Amino acid sequence: MRVVTDPAELRQASPPPLVLVPTMGALHAGHLALVRRAREAAGPDGTVAVSIFVNPIQFDRAADLEAYPRPLEADLDRCREAGVDLVLAPQAGAMYPPDRSVTVLETSLSKTLCGATRPGHFDGVCTVVLKLFNLFRPAAAVFGEKDFQQLAIIRRMVRDLDVPVDIIPFPTVREADGLAMSSRNLRLSQEQRADAPRIHRSLRHAAGRPDREAMVAAAREGIESPLNRIDYLELVDAETLQPHPDPGRRALLAAAVFYGEVRLIDNQPVAPAAG
């Protein structure tokens, strides 16, 4: 496995096709499932690449950026064991010149859900992902459906800017009790960790309700606990991410929930017949 910290070293060619898994590190079984999917797409002779970069420009809260776990050595061990060929783990200074002045701006899909409460977040995500695409020049890149809005926005960016990268989605990987795996789970107290599976459980049960109001009400009732605070809970169109989806279209029940300073997200698809 080749590990580089200087993005310029990526100019050295790797066997094609190259399939990229962009991450912020603190790798868990969810990330490793994306790596396996990348290997499937790259084939045994292609290159599976992982980027590990806690991207400062996508954080809206300084405390969240500071507290984000960075267990680099353990991450590299996991990548090695998973058969990754190439890792980029740069410092922020190597990615962003101090006088940088160009950003990717998304003006529609990023206005709801996480984008509504995290201003600038998805512009930071788009900017770093486009940079990673330019550095690695991958044939394909794998993104998790846990971050459904991110996936939709990356797809839109690739479409609108004619970026020649196939976007491969991957279903949410969960702990045995249903909690969506996340690097942020490491920051939950034991009590918060025991409470957090209610998010997935409630979204799943609520998605079976006959109409939108009942769905959102049931999910809210199930998720709320003395240990958390709901940031948002919404039923949105699965493609446009706009609220109040047409009952005939695929929808998504999506939530962000704070446990103390730790913000967890999850989502549940809703069949088109509902509503």
Which residues are annotated as catalytic? 31
Cβ closest to ligand AMP, residue 168 vs residue 218: 168
Are 20 and 141 within 8 A, CB to CB? yes
Confirm or reject binding of residue 31 to ligand AMP (CB under 6 A).
yes
Sole binder of ligand AMP in the list 57, 143, 195, 196 (CB under 6 A): 143
Residue 127 host element (H or E): helix 121-136
Sole binder of ligand AMP in the list 10, 24, 130, 152 (CB under 6 A): 24
Sole binder of ligand AMP in the list 14, 110, 172, 268 (CB under 6 A): 172
User: Residue 56 has which token pair?
Assistant: 């400062």
Residues contacting residue 271 through CB under 8 Å, at least 6 positions apart: 207, 250
Smallest distance, ligand AMP to C-beta of residue 143, A: 4
Confirm or reject binding of residue 131 to ligand AMP (CB under 6 A).
no
C-alpha count within 13 angstroms, C-beta hemisphere, residue 136: 31
Q: Compute the residue count for the chain.
A: 275
Sole binder of ligand AMP in the list 14, 47, 182, 228 (CB under 6 A): 182
Cβ closest to ligand AMP, residue 200 vs residue 209: 200
Confirm or reject binding of residue 183 to ligand AMP (CB under 6 A).
yes
User: Residue 109 has which token pair?
Assistant: 């899909």
Q: How far apart are CA 40 and CA 37, in angstroms?
A: 5
Cβ closest to ligand AMP, residue 148 vs residue 251: 148
Tracing tokens 């420009």 back to the chain, one arrives at 57
Amino acid at 174: R
User: Residue 196 has which token pair?
Assistant: 């957090």
Sole binder of ligand AMP in the list 170, 185, 245, 263 (CB under 6 A): 170
Confirm or reject binding of residue 173 to ligand AMP (CB under 6 A).
yes
Confirm or reject binding of residue 266 to ligand AMP (CB under 6 A).
no
Cβ closest to ligand AMP, residue 106 vs residue 147: 147
Confirm or reject binding of residue 39 to ligand AMP (CB under 6 A).
no
Are 108 and 122 within 8 A, CB to CB? no
Confirm or reject binding of residue 75 to ligand AMP (CB under 6 A).
no
Tracing tokens 């939530």 back to the chain, one arrives at 255
Q: How far apart are CA 161 and CA 119, in angstroms?
A: 22
- Measured between alpha carbons, how far is residue 214 from residues 131, 164, 208 in Å? 42, 42, 10
Confirm or reject binding of residue 85 to ligand AMP (CB under 6 A).
no
Sole binder of ligand AMP in the list 34, 104, 128, 255 (CB under 6 A): 34
Please report, as ranges, the residues that interact with ligand AMP according to CB under 6 A.
23-24, 30-31, 34, 143-144, 146-147, 170, 172-173, 180-183
